[in-house]
Amino acid sequence: MFCVSCVASQECATYVNTFIGTSNFGATFPGPIAPRGMASVSPFNVAGKQNKLEKDSRWLSNPYVYENTFLTGFSQVNLSGVGCPDLGVILVMPTTGEVQTNHLDYGTTYSNEIGKAGYYSNTLDKYNIKTEFTASTRVGVNKFTFPKGKSNILINLGLGLTNEQDAMVQVVSPTEIQGVRSVGSFCYNSPEDAYPVYFVARFSKPATNYGVWKTPDTYQGEEAKWMTYNGKTRIMERNTKMVVGDSIGTYFSYEFDKEETVEVKIGISYVSIENARENLEKETGNKSFDTVYKETFNQWNSLLSRIKVKGGTEDDKINFYTALYHTLIHPNTLNDVNGDYPEIKTGKIGNTKDTRFTVFSLWDTYRNLHQLMSLVYPKQQSNMVKSMLDMYDENGWLPKWELNSTETFTMVGDPASIVITDTYIKGIQDFNVNKAYEAMLKSATTLDNNPLRPGLKNYLNNGYLVVGQRGPVSTTQEYNAADYAIAVLAKELGKTDDYKTFKKRSLSYYKFYDKDFKLLRPRNEDGSFYKPFDPLAGANFEENVGYIEGNAWQYAFMAPHDVKGMIKLYGGGKSFTNQLQKLFDTNQFDMANEPDIAYPYWFNYVKGEAWRSQKIVRELASKYFQNKPAGLPGNDDTGTMSAWLIYAMSGIYPASIGDNVYQITSPVFDEVEIALNSEYYSGKSIKIITKNNSEENKYIQSIKLNNKPLKGYSVTHQQLVNGGVLEIELGKNPIK
């Protein structure tokens, strides 16, 4: 099914298995998307009690679950790897026979699934319809092969994954439909910012018949006595007027006297219907399905082949390139082909000549994804930072968890500062750093009505947030890390006083340290430790007093900006190592969430203990990341888990903040070559060559950089991007 050698064929994109992450709550979808595309198509199989995981029976954040079997359409805008339901709307569904408008009636099982980069296909069992999908950046392309007879293509605007409802639709002609669907309130936050997604659907064959359906609410009271049609679905045949409602859709019907295909291109925009139409025309015009697919495949291939690997198993390559694929989905394109995009908060339509990116899940992605982008796709990372600064211009604040120009305020901390500083010190400096610094200071110093840093007053007065505030320990740790990033940028910009101030602020997490527990423990308003203290409370995402999505163990070592200080705090190398090892030994380490994902690398900082990092990273990578639908440890978190894997398999990891250093562990591949962008970096490529690599030989015996022995287990960004060649010799015995 997959080609043998990426290096030889150059077809790295053939290694993508789009089903990875579609089980075990990975929350990825198997359908096509162009790199950082606005449009995407996912089979939608989360409605209907037939399904194991059903969207209305439980919290569910993805349009597709591998184990589910009952499909009710193909959604044309989707989020990948997120933890809250949103988008998953504009459901296209081909059927045969009489038009049914209730998805529970027209839904079907399916078979013959194929998922590849830029392509998805299946067969709808009930109808014997072959479905195929591809996508350009802003257009989903649907292709249906119908058997002879009466066939229909439905666009259901009632069904969806998003927390919002209501839509408008209008049949423009027998080959075109336009409309709008409300989406938003991601994580049930910021409902006042719910917003529309606009679309234009163009059909390759004119419908023989068409119509709109609408299921109105059931009226109560006096009126209900007279309405014979109360709450009933209406079929509005040949209706070409605007229809608005909570539960509406359109059908296009055909009479085929032989097997026939119909292609439906759906242009998307967050600005207007007119722009959706322009996106459709400019991107896909008269192109065939195959042409669009080929172009998108080539885009994927070109981006994925920026990293070439040798050695490893086929599954290793699949896991690796699928992970890289997943890091190239979000942040994604928000602007239309003409440059228009909805500004955040202002209500205005902005325009950009670059790409305006959206979907910044920064609490996740500040930890490794943006670092990976800076290394492999620095131009993209530069545009992402510019997008963040444009958001500051528009909204007055840097983003926290931005989604289609709404600030969802999901999660805690002030992660934008960390991303910007890291980008800057990596040498990507073609953005307005002064504005960036001003923006960072604003959220770090505004005491009142500060949406990014609630609790800042306590933080500045005590050094920490207190019990009663949201996740006081975690949030303080996040503020510390952000403050350190500000300190680093201050230093870069020659602002020595700011450097000192923020450096000092960044270490206040010390105050949580309880040496009896050797853990960070919440404090009350009066300064006393919170009682009773249960270090295990908060595992498995349970809500708890001190921590966000984690417990005291999972947050114990989250000081990526101060690893050496943290080791000292924990009683020095040996004591620290013991405590950290205990986290792993007692199964408190959670691979499925972000707070502790850098911890496996902390052993590298203690002399003689780096073998533990080598061992654990390899174990985690092979245990949690596999070539199967459940092959992600949990939510991909818009590529953060995938970025972790790419680094882990390559043998380097940007574990710390502000020092521009990669921790080295044992690579999975014999050779990893990362092409460098000459606009930003002087080297042509980075090579990581591994010798004596085997499953057994997981321990580093020696490291050479550019043919010279390397002391320790880290390498700087600068050393690598100058064209560094790392040679890592492995063996079966740990070096202690």
Minimum CB distance to a copy of itself, residue 539 (Å): 21
Minimum CB distance to a copy of itself, residue 185 (Å): 8
What does the alpha-carbon distance between residue 315 and residue 580 come to, in Å, rounded to a whole number?
31
CB 107 within 8 Å of CB 47 = yes
Residues in the chain: 736
Minimum CB distance to a copy of itself, residue 171 (Å): 7
Cβ proximity to a copy of itself, 247 vs 421, nearer residue? 247
Sign of the torsion angle spanned by Cα atoms 370, 330, 388, 281 = positive
Cβ proximity to a copy of itself, 161 vs 304, nearer residue? 161
Minimum CB distance to a copy of itself, residue 499 (Å): 38
What does the alpha-carbon distance between residue 658 and residue 489 come to, in Å, rounded to a whole number?
9
What does the alpha-carbon distance between residue 655 and residue 368 come to, in Å, rounded to a whole number?
8
Minimum CB distance to a copy of itself, residue 186 (Å): 12
What does the alpha-carbon distance between residue 267 and residue 139 come to, in Å, rounded to a whole number?
4
Cβ proximity to a copy of itself, 188 vs 619, nearer residue? 188
Minimum CB distance to a copy of itself, residue 85 (Å): 9
Cβ proximity to a copy of itself, 221 vs 532, nearer residue? 221
Minimum CB distance to a copy of itself, residue 210 (Å): 9
Cβ proximity to a copy of itself, 210 vs 644, nearer residue? 210
Minimum CB distance to a copy of itself, residue 27 (Å): 17
Residues near a copy of itself, by CB under 8 A = 56-59, 163-168, 171, 180, 182, 185, 188, 191-196, 198, 214, 216-217, 221-223, 226-229, 234-246, 342, 345-348
Minimum CB distance to a copy of itself, residue 157 (Å): 10
Cβ proximity to a copy of itself, 172 vs 493, nearer residue? 172
What does the alpha-carbon distance between residue 102 and residue 124 come to, in Å, rounded to a whole number?
17
Cβ proximity to a copy of itself, 405 vs 656, nearer residue? 405
Cβ proximity to a copy of itself, 192 vs 516, nearer residue? 192
Minimum CB distance to a copy of itself, residue 55 (Å): 9
Minimum CB distance to a copy of itself, residue 342 (Å): 7
Cβ proximity to a copy of itself, 199 vs 555, nearer residue? 199
CA angle 619, 412, 509 (to 5 degrees): 75
Distances (CA, A) of 169 to 39, 140, 173, 198, 247: 18, 18, 12, 10, 11
Beta strands in 127-208 (DSSP E): 129-135, 139-146, 149-156, 167-173, 176-183, 195-203
Cβ proximity to a copy of itself, 45 vs 185, nearer residue? 185
CA angle 115, 117, 120 (to 5 degrees): 35
In 3D space, the residue among 489, 439, 490 whose CA is nearest the CA of residue 660 turns out to be: 489
Cβ proximity to a copy of itself, 193 vs 278, nearer residue? 193
Minimum CB distance to a copy of itself, residue 226 (Å): 5
In 3D space, the residue among 651, 619, 637 whose CA is nearest the CA of residue 309 turns out to be: 651
Minimum CB distance to a copy of itself, residue 328 (Å): 28
In 3D space, the residue among 517, 524, 599, 511 whose CA is nearest the CA of residue 555 turns out to be: 599
What does the alpha-carbon distance between residue 634 and residue 82 come to, in Å, rounded to a whole number?
10
What does the alpha-carbon distance between residue 189 and residue 411 come to, in Å, rounded to a whole number?
11
Distances (CA, A) of 82 to 78, 359, 455: 10, 10, 26
Phi, psi of 490 (to 5 degrees): -55, -45
Minimum CB distance to a copy of itself, residue 540 (Å): 18
Cβ proximity to a copy of itself, 14 vs 152, nearer residue? 152
Structure tokens belonging to residue 553: 């163990």
What does the alpha-carbon distance between residue 517 and residue 533 come to, in Å, rounded to a whole number?
10
Q: Strand 725-731 to strand 685-691: parallel, antiparallel, or no bridges (unpaired)?
A: parallel
Cβ proximity to a copy of itself, 269 vs 477, nearer residue? 269
Cβ proximity to a copy of itself, 103 vs 317, nearer residue? 103
CB 369 within 8 Å of CB 359 = no
Cβ proximity to a copy of itself, 181 vs 615, nearer residue? 181
Q: Which residues contact 153 (CB under 8 A, 6 or more apart)?
A: 92, 93, 94, 95, 144, 203, 207, 251, 252, 254, 262, 264
Cβ proximity to a copy of itself, 223 vs 526, nearer residue? 223
CB 686 within 8 Å of CB 676 = yes
Phi, psi of 588 (to 5 degrees): -85, -20
Structure tokens belonging to residue 258: 């032989």
Cβ proximity to a copy of itself, 60 vs 598, nearer residue? 60
**One-letter amino acid for residue 391 of the chain:** M
Pinpoint the alpha helices (H) of 216-353.
273-284, 289-304, 314-327
Phi, psi of 462 (to 5 degrees): -100, -20
Minimum CB distance to a copy of itself, residue 222 (Å): 6
Cβ proximity to a copy of itself, 169 vs 583, nearer residue? 169
Minimum CB distance to a copy of itself, residue 276 (Å): 12
Minimum CB distance to a copy of itself, residue 181 (Å): 8
The region that residue 277 occupies, defined by phi over 0 for left and psi between -120 and 50 for alpha, beta otherwise, is alpha
Q: 576-592 in b/e burial notation, b at 16+ Cβ within 10 A? A: bbebbeebbeeebbbbb
Is it true that the peptide bond before 331 is cis, omega within 30 degrees of 0?
A: yes
Pinpoint the alpha helices (H) of 352-511.
362-365, 369-376, 378-395, 416-425, 433-445, 456-462, 472-492, 496-505
Beta partners for residue 140, in sequence order: 135, 266
Minimum CB distance to a copy of itself, residue 239 (Å): 6
